[in-house]
Amino acid sequence: MALIPSQVLRVAILLSYFSILCNYKAIDMPAHQTYGGSWKFLTFIDLVIQAVFFGVCVLTDLSSLLTKGSESQEQERQLKKLISLRDWMMAVLAFPVGVFVVTMFWALYLYDRDLVYPRLLDNFIPQWLNHGM
């Protein structure tokens, strides 16, 4: 028996794809018409990395809960691969890119605030919300 039923995994992937596609097509942004679109921004790439990492973490936790007490060697092997993938993503992608994005944002913010967060946005977004994110 597979670690996660293929139908559940297929529905989860299709639902994720559908929600991303609807969000991407529903918002008309000028950045989407240029070369690279939103993918040229490291903050967007970091958002995608963090979302995929969160999905892998949820999948790993659910898999370990569903296979707890199971004697199947195949499920244990698949779970170990999933845990290895999760750990690799954290060490190689999610943590380093996330720390770099946060460090660069606040360094640029301290150097010249208007480069990354124009004062015009203060009328719409409260200051505490920027620090809370």
Model pLDDT for residues 48-107, shown as the tens digit of each residue: 899 999 988 988 888 888 888 777 788 888 889 999 999 999 999 999 999 999 999 889
Residue-by-residue DSSP string for 35-60 = TTGGGG-HHHHHHHHHHHHHHHHHHH
Q: What are phi and psi of 5, to 5 degrees?
A: -55, 135
Grouping H, G, I as helix, E, B as strand and the rest as coil, residue 25 is helix
Q: What is the pTM of this model?
A: 0.73
Residue 115 and residue 108 in contact, taking contact as beta carbons nearer than 8 Å: yes
